[in-house]
């Protein structure tokens, strides 16, 4: 088995939200996750876990300013997927 055909190791990182995770950023997260169809991306906080491709699931985390969100990605491009989602979560836009 060549190195390119081996599955990549899962990537996990924790981000701190600068703003509440409301509909607009949840939609942006879902759009970013959709660009990685062969990668599973989950968000979690202390209480819940959500599929990053689902706007309603992401909003259902109930995450607010200052909360820590764990981004976990596994599959074809976990590093790229995790970085894309984390960048949206840490953006300071309203």
Residue 72 has pLDDT above 80, yes or no: yes
Distance CA 64, CA 20 (A): 4
Q: Does some domain include residue 5?
A: no
Q: Does some domain include residue 20?
A: yes
Residue 2 has pLDDT above 60, yes or no: no
Please state the pTM of the whole predicted model: 0.87
Give every strand in the sheet of 8-16, ordered side by side: 8-16, 68-75, 39-44, 49-51
Residue 11 has pLDDT above 50, yes or no: yes
Q: 46 or 38: whose pLDDT is higher? A: 38
Q: Does some domain include residue 2?
A: no
pLDDT-derived band at 46 (thresholds 50, 70, 90) equals confident
Containing domain of residue 73, as a range? 11-90
* Domain count across the chain: 1
Per-residue model confidence (pLDDT) at position 1: 41
pLDDT-derived band at 76 (thresholds 50, 70, 90) equals very high
CATH number at residue 55: 3.30.1340.10
């Amino acid at each position: 088995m060549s190195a390119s055909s081996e599955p990549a190791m899962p990537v996990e990182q924790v981000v701190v939200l600068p703003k509440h995770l409301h509909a607009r950023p949840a939609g942006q997260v879902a759009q970013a996750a959709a660009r990685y169809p062969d990668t599973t991306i989950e968000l979690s906080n202390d209480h819940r876990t959500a599929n990053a491709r689902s706007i309603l699931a992401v909003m259902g985390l109930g995450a607010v300013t200052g909360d820590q969100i764990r981004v976990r990605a596994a599959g074809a491009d976990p590093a790229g997927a995790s970085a894309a989602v984390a960048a949206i979560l840490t953006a300071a836009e309203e």
